[in-house]
Each structure stands twice: as structure tokens, then as C-alpha cells.
Amino acid sequence: MGMLSGTVAVVTGSGRGIGKAIAIGLANAGARVVVNDIGVQLDGDPGAGDPAAETVAEIRSAGGEAIAVNETVSTMTGGRRIVQSAIDAYGRLDTVVCNAAIMRPASLFDLTEKDWDLVLETNLKGNFSVMQPAAIHMRAQKSGTILVLTSSGGLEGSPNQPNYAASKEGILGLMRSAALALAPDVTCNAISPSALTRMIERARPGHNPGDPSAVAPVATFLASAAARNITGQVVGVSGDRVSIFPQPRVARTIYREGGWTPEGLANAWNATLGSDTLVRYERFVTNRSS
């Protein structure tokens, strides 16, 4: 008996990469899996083949149960159909993993409205379109798990992908809101993976992160009964390392009776509040200056 025996999971964007690894991992743990992928290229343009069917074939060849659903996450209708497909096929829904994403890199100065809209539509709205119908079902069921995928680009910023970074940071606000709204019966967490996928190969050539398969055990654990007390967290996964990111909190505060003037802040700021340097600041500023 696996940790997820008797459960049903939906994994979006699970035809390749991390999503595929998660879908196979959930199936290996006993879940029946709805594999969702429309087979697009990295930028969202139409692609060749049927990667969802290929993932389903792998799951079934290993003795698992899975079906493929080729619906887009970028519309509310598509999201509802994905969720309903799980309920129609298996009678329930216990886990949703929102992994589908695209990227259209461009600097803040060159990014087009079209490329902004397409990335936010898939990456951020594509989480909401699936999460909302799943949350309604799970709240009535009084159990369930929602997992979303963020990234270092969202957590730390990305000067050449403001659309992607905004979508991945926005996912965290959505995750925290869902965690509060669904507690205590349904959990909602985020995974920030560092793994060698076609997306990371394009964004950071030469970078050598962990294998996508390393993410699957973390997703499986978070979907299991053993993680019922874990919600609203951002979990980092890179190879053999698993981390927890801190929640946003006030770092330092200054107070002045009667309020502050601009001059008063100028005199006090550096010695009291200071600043917390962006994680990637030195790397990008140094490269820009050299």
C-alpha cells in the first residue's frame, strides 16, 4: 500500500519535466492520476506530439492508473473541465498540482503586452482556473491538497523575465490566500524547484541543478496524510536538498512620536532600517557594470 493509495490527483503540465516526474511519483505511491498537458512549446505556441498520452502510457506500464486530459488551464472553462474529468473518471479528487507554465523572456524595456498577457494567463490564471473548482470540491469533501509551483525567478526576481517572475510571485499570494481560506481541512503549499528541464535550459544555459525526479517525493509527501499539519509553506527542492523559505515578516521598525518628515527619515534610515539586499543584486549589477 502506497502513501496515496485510494486517492485521485490532477497534475497540470505533466507531459514533460517536473510535472511528469510528479505525476509518475504520485502514481507510484498509489494515486490515480489525471495527466493534463496540451503539448505546447516553451513559449506556449503549438507543439508536436501528445506528451500527456506518453506520461499516461508510462504510468500504466508500471501498473498505475491514469488518464490524459488535453484541456488548457488558461481559461476557466478549461480548468473546470480538468477538475471535472477527475471526478467523472474516479469519483473524487484529493490532490491538485498546478505545474503548467510557459515563458516568453524579454527585458522590462522590450516586453510586449502580448507576451505579458500570455504568460500571466497560463502561469497565474492557469493556477486559479484549476484551484477554484478543486477548492470548492475539496471544501465540500473536507479534505484535500493543493500544490503550486513557484520558482527562484519569482522569489528573487528576474531582470530578463518580468512577466514570468510576476506570475510566479503572484502564485505565492494565491497559495497563501487559499491556505487561509481552506484551513484546516485542505492544505495548500508551494514548491520552488531547481531542476534540469527544458525551461531551465533556455533560461539559464550551463546551469546544472537537480534532476526533476527529486521533486516527486516532496510532492508525494505533501499530498499524503502525513503532511496534514503543513500548509501555507514554500518548500525548496534542489537535488538532495529540501528547504523551507521564511514567511514575509517585518524585519525592522522605527518609530517617531508625531510622525516622520523626509529629512528625519534621511537622517535615521541607514543607521536603523537599512535594507535587505536582493539575493541576485550583486550578480546582475556586477555583470551590467563590467
CA distance 194 to 191: 10
Tell me the one-letter amino acid at 227.
A
Q: Which long-range contacts (CB under 8 A, 24 or more apart) does 283-286 make?
A: 284/159
Dmax over CA atoms of the chain, in Å, equals 71
Q: How many angstroms from the chain centroid is the CA of residue 5? A: 24
Nearest 5°: CA angle at 228, between 222 and 232?
70
Say how far residue 124 (Cα) sits from the centre of its chain.
9
Q: How far apart are CA 187 and CA 104, in angstroms?
A: 31
Question: Rounded to whole angstroms, how far apart are CA atoms 224 and 5?
Answer: 10
Catalytic residues: 164
CA gyration radius for the chain?
20
